[in-house]
């Protein structure tokens, strides 16, 4: 226990808040911390979307970037400042893990292209297919070639950064996960979502789904637990602490 208490914390960059109806369950940072198995003292949360300043990198084992209702293509000042900070952190070798918006922000920071997915909205419990490169990846090696994950997004990484390896995809999104270098990962899916989070987002998006000609009730019926996706997040935490420990 002593070693756990004294290990360096992870930094969680909070880039947004859950939809209004889901805020009773806490913030995105809270969902991530719980899903990752982190104690409160294991993480430092900086709400960059609310203007909190980005800290110095020293002393952090790694960084997790949350999802957001914002769009990377809107180029908000806080988002662009975060992108510049993340690009420097990536070049310095600090382990980074982006989720949904964080995935897209990392791709943008490293020179990739982000924009509206030409297939439109992806939402619900969706299939994920690993690429052959995933079998040599620290976070994905040994996982089933196909597993389920929770997802909700309109934009995607349309062109990964130069030198990045695509690790996961599906019919909707050709880049559901990538790795850049040895310590930077982005995942379009939400490994921190439990089924209650997915159900809540489907309920919140019922009107939009209806306008798109989609049946929210059918999508609700398809929601199920996604333990393999959560393993990816927990593996990042272990990888970050392992790198720090040498």
List active site positions: 100, 190, 192
Question: How far apart (Å, rounded) are the C-alpha atoms in residues 189 and 99?
Answer: 7
E-assigned strand segments in the chain = 10-14, 43-47, 62-65, 96-99, 113-116, 122-130, 146-153, 155-159, 165-169, 177-180, 184-187
Give the length of the chain. Answer: 246
DSSP, collapsed to helix, strand or coil, labels residue 68 as coil
Q: Contact 192/236 with Cβ under 8 angstroms? A: no
Question: How far apart (Å, rounded) are the C-alpha atoms in residues 139 and 225?
Answer: 19
Name the residue among 29, 38, 30 with its Cα closest to residue 8.
38
* Tokens 């800290």 sit on residue: 55
Question: How far apart (Å, rounded) are the C-alpha atoms in residues 79 and 133?
Answer: 30
Which helix or strand (DSSP H or E) is residue 167 part of?
strand 165-169
Distance from first CA to last CA of the chain, Å, rounded? Answer: 19
DSSP, collapsed to helix, strand or coil, labels residue 180 as strand
Question: How far apart (Å, rounded) are the C-alpha atoms in residues 189 and 122?
Answer: 10
């Amino acid at each position: 226990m002593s070693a756990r208490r004294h290990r360096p914390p992870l930094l969680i960059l909070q880039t947004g808040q859950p939809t209004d109806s889901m805020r009773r369950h806490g913030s995105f940072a809270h969902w991530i911390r719980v899903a990752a198995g982190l104690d409160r003292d294991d993480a430092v949360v900086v709400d960059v979307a609310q203007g909190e300043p980005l800290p110095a990198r020293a002393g952090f084992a790694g960084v997790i970037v949350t999802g957001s209702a914002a769009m990377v293509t809107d180029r908000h000042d806080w988002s662009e400042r975060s992108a510049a900070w993340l690009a420097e952190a990536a070049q310095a070798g600090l382990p980074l893990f982006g989720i949904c918006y964080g995935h897209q922000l990392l791709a943008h920071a490293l020179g990739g292209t982000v924009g509206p997915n030409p297939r439109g909205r992806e939402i619900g419990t969706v299939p994920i297919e690993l690429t052959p490169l995933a079998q040599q990846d620290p976070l994905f090696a040994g996982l089933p070639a196909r597993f389920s994950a929770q997802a909700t997004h309109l934009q995607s990484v349309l062109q990964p950064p130069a030198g990045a390896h695509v690790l996961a995809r599906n019919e909707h999104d050709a880049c559901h996960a990538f790795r850049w270098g040895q310590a930077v990962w982005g995942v379009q899916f939400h490994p921190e979502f439990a089924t209650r989070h997915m159900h809540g987002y489907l309920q919140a998006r019922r009107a939009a789904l209806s306008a798109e000609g989609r049946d929210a009730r059918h999508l609700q019926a398809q929601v199920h637990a996604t333990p393999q996706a959560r393993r990816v997040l927990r593996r990042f935490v272990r990888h970050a602490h392992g790198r720090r420990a040498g």
